[in-house]
Amino acid sequence: MAVNEISQLPFTSEFKESLLKIPEGDRIQTCLQCACCSGVCPFGFVMDFPPGRMIAWMRAGNLDEMLKSDSIWMCVSCYACTEVCPKDIPITLALMTRAKEEALLAGNVPAELQSALEFSQQYSNPLGESSRKRAAWTEELDFEVPIVRKEKRPFEVLWFVGDYASYHPRVKNVTIAVAKIFNKLGIDFAILGPDEHSDGDSQRLAGERGLFEMLAEKNDKVLSRAQFGEIITTDPHAYNAFKNEYPKLGFEYPVRHYTELLVEKLDELTPLLKENGQAKVAYHDPCYLGRVNQIYEAPRKLIEAIPGLELVEMAHNKSTSLCCGGGGGGMWLDGFRWEKSESRLSEWRIKEAVTIEADILAVACPYEPPRFEDAVKAVKGAEKLIVKDIAELILDAIDN
Amino acid sequence: MTEIVVIARLVPDLVEELEIAPSGTALDLSWLRLIINEFDNHAIEQAVILKEKTGANVTIISPEAEGVEDMLFTTAAKGADRLIKLTGIDEEKPTNESLAQTLAGIIKEINPDLILNGVQAHDDIAGDLAPQIADLLNLPYVGYISGVSIEGGQAKAFKEYPGGILAEMEITLPAVLGIQASEEPPRYVAISKVRQMMSTTTIEEIAGDGLATENNFVIDRMYLPEAAEKAEMLEGNEEEVAQKLTAILQDLGLL
Amino acid sequence: MTQDIFVVIEHIQGQVSDISYIMIAAARELAQAQGGNVVGIILGSGAENLKDSLAADQVIYCDHPALAEFSSDACKRTLLSIFTEHDPRAIFFGNTTIGSDICSSIATHGSYPVINSCIRIAEGGAITSQICGGKIMVDSQLADKTTILTMIPGGYKPEQGQGGPPTETINFSPPDLENLKVKLVQFIEPVPGDVDIAQEKILVAIGRGIQTEDNIELAEELAALLGGTVCASRPVIDQGWLPTSRLVGKSGKSVKPDLYLSLGISGATEHLEGILESKTIVAINSDPDAPIFDVAKYGIEVDLFDFIDPLLEQLESAKNG
C-alpha cells in the first residue's frame, strides 16, 4: 500500500469503531445501500457525501476526503433519513453528528457556526446576549414571573424557556403569550431566569459534544437545587435534550412539552376561548417534537379547540414533516447553506401551506416564527399567510 | 528552534453593563465579566500559525484573573507548548508599568526571538503593554501588524498605516510586535479538546514581584458617559419610512 | 521642565493627518489653561512645508532620509533626543497606527507617565479620556512631570487646529540613525482605479448585517441611485468582500460625506472614529440598542432586507419626478 493509504486507514477505522459504539450504531454494518436516506435528505442534492455515500466510502476505508469537504454542514439533523431507513440505522445520531464532531475537531467549522458556539460558551446562549438579561422579557408583563432563585419554595412547573424564546424579538412574543396563558390558568410555575443556560441540544447536533456536556452540567447544577414537579418547555430541542440526552449523562428530570400540559387543562381552557374569526390553519410538525419524539396529537387538539379555526394537513405532515432548516446548528449556518444550495427549506414549507390555501401556519418551535416569516416574504402567493405559534393563537382567542 | 512568547490578557466583556466602583475612580469588579482581549486572541493564533509553519516553541504568559486557566488550556488545545500564569494579583488590575517590568524579567529568562501581544486592550488607561516591555528589553516594537513571517533573523510583517494603507516592514529579531489581525481568523477549538488539555497539561505559576496598582498620575473620577442624544427614529411600516427618508433626502438636496 | 505643550505631528505620503490638527486644538486648550506654547514636532525628509497649516506657536523640525515616512525605531530615537533637550510639560501623540507604535516605549524610556485615549481637555486643564469601547469616561490630571497624552478624535474638529504658519521653526539635528532595527520596505498600493472614499459626498456603508457577499449588490444599487459609493466596516473587509481602500474607521479612512447611510452597522468605536465628520448620518439597523444610533441624525429600526426594496422604489419615483 502507498504511504498515504496507510495513514488514512487508522483514522477511518477509529472513526468507524466509534460509530459502532453508539447505541444501535452497529446497524451501520447492515446498510443495504438502498439510498433512501440520501433521497429523502432535504439537502442531499448538494452534499458531496450524503449519508448513503458516507457509509459506502467508510466501508472502502477512505474517509479523509469527507473530512475535508464542508458538505457535512448541509445536514440539518432533521431525522428524515433515520425515519426512512429500512434497516433502522440511527443515521443522524450515529453517523451525521459524529461526522460533524470529527470535522469540528479538525478545525473545519464555518465562521457563523463558530461564533454561535463561542457565544454559547461565554454567555450560555448562541446569540451573544448578556446572560444577566435572560429574563428581561418578563418586564413586559403586568404580573410577576417567579424566578427560582428568589422563590424559596417548591412549585409544580419549572418552565424551561430557552435561548431564542428569551432573547429574539419575534420569539419573545410567543414566550409572553405562554406566560399569560399559564397565568390565566393559575398554573404554579417558575423560570430559572439568568440561571438558565442553553439546553445545548442544537450545539450537540452541530458536533460540539463537549459544549453540550458543559451546558448540561451547568443546568443540572441549578436544577438539582430547585424543587419542582416537572419541567415544561416550549422548545422541542430543549424537550429532546431533557428527555433523551440529559439522562445519558445521569441528569434525569421529568419533562413535557407545553402543548401536552395545556391539553391536560383543556376543560379549564376551552371555556376561555372565543372565536377570533374563521381561518384555515395548517400545523407544521417540528422535527424534534414530531418525528423525533412522536408528539403529533397534542398540538392538533389545541388548535381544534379554538372556535373558528379549521385544521388542514399539508402534503408532508407528522412523520414526513419538512424541516424548517433551523435545527442541528441550522440557525447559524444560513449564509453558508444559501451560498451552497441557493434554496431555503423554509420556503418549501411555505409553498405547501400556500398550496392547501391555509390562512395561518401554526408552529410550535422557537426557530420557526422568524424562519417562516422570512420565507413568506420570498414566496409568491404567500403574502397573506400568517405565521403564529399555537400559544399565540390561544392567547388571541382568550383576549378576544 | 524559534522561541515565541505571547502575552495574553483578559479584559472586561463589553456585552455586559459596566459599573463604577464606590471609590469613583475604578471599575466595579463585582460586576465585571472577563473575556479574552480579542487582539490577544489574534496574537495567539499568529503564534500557532508560525509554529505550524516553522516548528517554533510557543509560550503563553497571562496575569491571573477569573477564567484565566480555561483561557490558557484553550491555547494549549490550539497548540501552545508552555503555559505560565503570573500570580500575586489580588483583584485590582496592576499598572501596565509594573506589569511590564515583571513580565520583562520573566521574558528575559526565556530569551525568545519574537514576542507577540494584542496591539491594544480597551481597559488600558496608562499606555500599551507591549511597547513598554519592548523598551525595557531594548527591543524594537511595531504595532498594528496583520501577518508575520520569520526569515533569517528578521521578521517580515505587514503594518497598517492611516487611511487603510498597508506597508511591508522588516524588523530585526528579537522584536516585539503588536498584533491587530492574525493571518487567518482565530481557529475554533472543540471544548472536548480543551477538557483533554486540563488533564494532560500543567500551568506553571510565577509569582509577580513588585506589582503595583496605583497609576503614576491622578485619576479624578471614572464615570459613565451622558446618555448621548439619540437619533431621530423614523416610525411606521417599511413603505411609510421609505417615504419619510426620501423626503428628508430631498430636503437636504441630496437627490 | 518648560510649560510647553508638544504635539507629535503625523503625516503620510505628504499629507498631515486630521488627528494632528485635532491634537493642536487640544494642546491650545491645555496651553490656555496652564500656560506655555503649542509646539508641533515634525520628523521628515524635505517635509518642512508641512508646518504651514498648523495653528501652533512653534515647530521643531528634524530632517533625515530615514524619517521620510514614519517607522518606529527612527522616530523613537529622534523624539527621545528632542524631549530630553526640550523637556516639555506634556506631549500629545495620536492614538493611531503611528502614535501608538512609539508613545508607550518612549514613556517607559523617559519615565514619563502616559494617559490614554484623551478626547478633550476639561475644566482647568484636566484630561478627559474615553476607554472601554466608549463606555467609560475618565478624568485625570497631568502628573508633576512631563506627561504623555494619546489622543482620539471626537472632541475637536480638525479646522480648530488649522491656521499658521507657526512663527518660529527650530531645526533639530537628528541623532544617530544608523543600524535601524525597523525598516519600511514599501507601501502596498491600493487596488488601482478604485475610488477614494474620503473624497466622496455620498456613502452607503455596509457592515456585518449584510450577511453575504452576494447581498452587497443591494448596497451598490442604492449607492448608484444616490450617486454615491459603497464603503464598509471591518467585518466586511476582513471577509475579503471589498478591498481595504473601502474600509472606514480607525485603521481605515476617515470620511466626511454629506450623507453617510449605514446598513447593518452596529457602530463599534473603531468604526465611528472614521465617520464623525459626516454631515448627515442615517443608520439602518434591526437592533435598537446599536451604538450607531447615538451618533446618527436619523435612525431606522428595521431589518435592512425588509427595507431596501421599498427604499429603492421610493427613491426611484422621487428621482423620476
Q: Residue C88 sits in a domain of what CATH number?
A: 3.40.50.620
Q: Indicate whether B63 belongs to any domain.
A: yes
Contact A67, A103 (CB under 8 A): yes
Task: Establish whether the linkage from the previous residue to B186 is cis, with ω within 30° of 0.
Answer: no
d(CA B143, CA B159): 7
Residues whose CB is less than 8 angstroms from the CB of residue A94 and which lie 6 or more positions away in sequence, other chains included: A19, A22, A24, A25, A27, A28
Same domain, C23 and C115: yes
C93 interaction partners in chain B (CB closer than 8 Å)? none
B128 interaction partners in chain C (CB closer than 8 Å)? 100, 104, 116
pLDDT category of residue B131 using cuts at 50, 70 and 90? very high
B190 reaches A (C-beta below 8 A): yes
d(CA B100, CA B212): 11
Listed by number, the residues of chain C in 280-319 with a beta carbon closer than 8 Å to a beta carbon of chain A are 306
C212 reaches A (C-beta below 8 A): yes
Structure confidence at residue C190 (pLDDT) = 66
Same domain, A234 and A351: no
Same domain, A93 and A19: yes
d(CA B86, CA B92): 14
**Alpha helices, DSSP H, located in chain B:** 38-54, 68-78, 96-110, 129-136, 191-200, 238-251
Structure confidence at residue A2 (pLDDT) = 35
d(CA B253, CA B251): 5
Label residues B111-139 b or e (16+ Cβ within 10 Å = b): ebbbbbbbbbbbbbbbbbbbbbbbbbbeb
d(CA C296, CA B232): 8
CATH number of the domain that A337 lies in? 3.40.50
**Class of residue A363 by CB neighbours under 10 A (exposed 0-12, middle 13-18, buried 19+):** buried
DSSP C5-73: EEEE--EETTEE-HHHHHHHHHHHHHHHHH---EEEEEEESS-GGGGGGB--SEEEEEE-GGGSS--HH
Same domain, A201 and A220: yes
Residue B118 structural domain: 3-207
Structure confidence at residue A262 (pLDDT) = 97
Which residue from A109, A130, A210 is facing B191, i.e. has the nearest CB?
A210
Structure confidence at residue C191 (pLDDT) = 66
Asked whether the predicted pLDDT for residue B208 surpasses 80, the reply is yes
Q: Kindly determine whether residue B195 and residue A210, on different chains, have CB atoms separated by under 8 Å.
A: yes
Q: Kindly determine whether residue A335 and residue C306, on different chains, have CB atoms separated by under 8 Å.
A: no
Please tell me the total count of domains within chain B: 1
Asked whether the predicted pLDDT for residue A195 surpasses 90, the reply is yes
User: How far is the alpha carbon of C302 from chain A, nearest alpha carbon, in Å?
Assistant: 12
Asked whether the predicted pLDDT for residue A3 surpasses 70, the reply is no
Q: Kindly determine whether residue A123 and residue B191, on different chains, have CB atoms separated by under 8 Å.
A: no
Same domain, A304 and A383: yes
Structure confidence at residue B218 (pLDDT) = 95
**Class of residue A294 by CB neighbours under 10 A (exposed 0-12, middle 13-18, buried 19+):** exposed
Same domain, C205 and C153: no
Which residue from A107, A111, A211 is facing B191, i.e. has the nearest CB?
A211
Q: What mean pLDDT is reported for chain A?
A: 92
Q: Kindly determine whether residue A109 and residue B188, on different chains, have CB atoms separated by under 8 Å.
A: yes
CA dihedral A73, A77, A82, A85 (to 10 degrees): -30
Structure confidence at residue C12 (pLDDT) = 93
d(CA A193, CA A162): 10
Contact B157, B145 (CB under 8 A): yes
Contact C145, C31 (CB under 8 A): no
Residue of A nearest to C211 (CA): A335
A282: its cell numbers? 395548517
Residues whose CB is less than 8 angstroms from the CB of residue C74 and which lie 6 or more positions away in sequence, other chains included: C43, C64, C66, C67, C177, C180, C182
A263: its cell numbers? 391539553
pLDDT category of residue C193 using cuts at 50, 70 and 90? low
Tens-digit pLDDT profile for residues C137-149? 999 999 999 999 9
DSSP B47-67: HHHHHHHH--EEEEEEE--TT
pLDDT category of residue A371 using cuts at 50, 70 and 90? very high
Residue of B nearest to A112 (CA): B188
Residue of A nearest to B17 (CA): A130
Measured in degrees and rounded to the nearest 5, phi and psi for residue A203 equal -65, -35
Same domain, A125 and A233: yes
B169 reaches C (C-beta below 8 A): yes
Same domain, C65 and C157: yes
Helices B191-200 and B68-78, axial angle in degrees (round to 10): 100
Q: Which secondary-structure segment (H or E) carries C284? A: strand C280-285
Structure confidence at residue A109 (pLDDT) = 86
Please tell me the total count of domains within chain A: 3
A123 interaction partners in chain B (CB closer than 8 Å)? 15
d(CA A163, CA C178): 61
The larger pLDDT score, comparing residue C238 to residue B75, is at: B75
Please tell me the total count of domains within chain C: 2
Q: What mean pLDDT is reported for chain C?
A: 93
Structure confidence at residue A11 (pLDDT) = 60
Q: Kindly determine whether residue B162 and residue C299, on different chains, have CB atoms separated by under 8 Å.
A: no
Q: What is the largest CA-CA distance in chain C?
A: 68
Q: Kindly determine whether residue C252 and residue B249, on different chains, have CB atoms separated by under 8 Å.
A: no
A211 reaches B (C-beta below 8 A): yes
Same domain, A282 and A244: no
State the amino acid at position B1 in one-letter form.
M
Same domain, C16 and C104: yes
According to DSSP, the residues that pair with B205 across neighbouring strands are B85
Structure confidence at residue A1 (pLDDT) = 33
A377 interaction partners in chain C (CB closer than 8 Å)? 306
Residue C105 structural domain: 5-172
Same domain, A191 and A324: no
Residues whose CB is less than 8 angstroms from the CB of residue C167 and which lie 6 or more positions away in sequence, other chains included: C57, C58
Structure confidence at residue A9 (pLDDT) = 47
B185 reaches A (C-beta below 8 A): yes
Same domain, A287 and A213: no
Subunits close to B (at least 3 CB pairs below 8 A): A, C
Q: Kindly determine whether residue B252 and residue C258, on different chains, have CB atoms separated by under 8 Å.
A: yes
CATH number of the domain that B58 lies in? 3.40.50.620
C211 interaction partners in chain A (CB closer than 8 Å)? 335
Residues C172-201: what's their mean pLDDT? Answer: 89
Which of C172, C205, C232 lies at the terminal end of a domain, its last residue? C172
Same domain, C38 and C150: yes
Contact C75, C102 (CB under 8 A): yes
Residues A6-35: what's their mean pLDDT? Answer: 78
Tens-digit pLDDT profile for residues A246-270? 999 999 999 999 999 999 999 999 9
Same domain, A236 and A306: no
A305: its cell numbers? 379547540
d(CA C76, CA C41): 12
Residues A355-372: what's their mean pLDDT? Answer: 96
Structure confidence at residue A58 (pLDDT) = 82
Which is it for the CA torsion B46, B52, B53, B55, positive or negative? positive
Same domain, C31 and C99: yes
Listed by number, the residues of chain A in 316-335 with a beta carbon closer than 8 Å to a beta carbon of chain C are 335
Q: Indicate whether B170 belongs to any domain.
A: yes
pLDDT category of residue B3 using cuts at 50, 70 and 90? very high
User: How far is the alpha carbon of A362 from chain C, nearest alpha carbon, in Å?
Assistant: 23
Contact A159, A190 (CB under 8 A): yes
Please report where in the chains the cell 388548535 appears, as a residue: A303
- Least confident range from A3-17, A87-101, C78-92, C244-258: namely A3-17
Q: Which secondary-structure segment (H or E) carries C171? A: strand C168-172
DSSP A47: -
A35: its cell numbers? 439510498
Same domain, A255 and A116: yes
Q: Indicate whether B224 belongs to any domain.
A: no
Structure confidence at residue A65 (pLDDT) = 78
Residue A328 structural domain: 273-399
Q: Kindly determine whether residue A339 and residue C306, on different chains, have CB atoms separated by under 8 Å.
A: no
In chain A, the percentage of residues whose pLDDT exceeds 70 is 97
pLDDT category of residue B15 using cuts at 50, 70 and 90? confident
B35 reaches A (C-beta below 8 A): yes
Q: Kindly determine whether residue C314 and residue B233, on different chains, have CB atoms separated by under 8 Å.
A: no
DSSP A79: -
Residue of B nearest to A107 (CA): B188
Q: For the sheet with B175-179, list strands across it.
A: B203-207, B82-87, B57-63, B3-7, B114-118, B175-179, B141-151, B154-161, B165-172, C182-188
d(CA C120, CA B135): 28
Asked whether the predicted pLDDT for residue C107 surpasses 50, the reply is yes
Q: What ipTM was predicted for this assembly? A: 0.93
Residues C156-169: what's their mean pLDDT? Answer: 94
User: How far is the alpha carbon of A209 from chain C, nearest alpha carbon, in Å?
Assistant: 27
User: How far is the alpha carbon of C309 from chain A, nearest alpha carbon, in Å?
Assistant: 12
B192 interaction partners in chain A (CB closer than 8 Å)? 105, 209-210
Residues whose CB is less than 8 angstroms from the CB of residue B137 and which lie 6 or more positions away in sequence, other chains included: B104, B107, B108, B174, B176
Structure confidence at residue B91 (pLDDT) = 81
Q: What mean pLDDT is reported for chain B?
A: 94
Same domain, C213 and C311: yes
Tens-digit pLDDT profile for residues B37-55? 999 999 999 999 999 999 9
Structure confidence at residue B194 (pLDDT) = 96
Residues whose CB is less than 8 angstroms from the CB of residue A44 and which lie 6 or more positions away in sequence, other chains included: A37, A38, A50, A51
C-alpha pair distances (Å), A226 with each of A213, A255, C60: 20, 15, 71
Residues C223-247: what's their mean pLDDT? Answer: 88
**Alpha helices, DSSP H, located in B129-201:** 129-136, 191-200
Report CA C284 to chain centroid distance, whole Å. 24
d(CA C170, CA C88): 15
C-alpha pair distances (Å), C86 with each of A38, A59, C39: 78, 79, 11
**Alpha helices, DSSP H, located in chain C:** 18-34, 72-86, 99-110, 216-226, 234-238, 269-272, 304-319
Residue of A nearest to B194 (CA): A210
- Least confident range from A12-16, A232-236, A315-319: namely A12-16
Which residue from A101, A107, A213 is facing B188, i.e. has the nearest CB?
A107
- Provide the strand spans (E) within chain A: 155-160, 189-191, 228-233, 255-257, 279-283, 309-312, 360-363, 386-389
Q: Kindly determine whether residue B190 and residue A105, on different chains, have CB atoms separated by under 8 Å.
A: yes
Asked whether the predicted pLDDT for residue A18 surpasses 90, the reply is no
Asked whether the predicted pLDDT for residue B192 surpasses 90, the reply is yes
Contact B252, C280 (CB under 8 A): yes
Same domain, A223 and A330: no
Q: Which secondary-structure segment (H or E) carries B165? A: strand B165-172
Q: Indicate whether B213 belongs to any domain.
A: no
Name the residue among B108, B111, B116 with its Cα closest to residue B49. Answer: B116
Same domain, C167 and C270: no
Structure confidence at residue A13 (pLDDT) = 75
Same domain, C119 and C262: no
Half-sphere CA count of C283, side-chain side, radius 13 A: 26
Residue of B nearest to C321 (CA): B255
Structure confidence at residue A7 (pLDDT) = 37
Same domain, A126 and A206: yes
Q: Kindly determine whether residue A338 and residue C306, on different chains, have CB atoms separated by under 8 Å.
A: no
Residues B234-255: what's their mean pLDDT? Answer: 92
d(CA C144, CA A203): 56
CATH number of the domain that C302 lies in? 3.40.50.1220
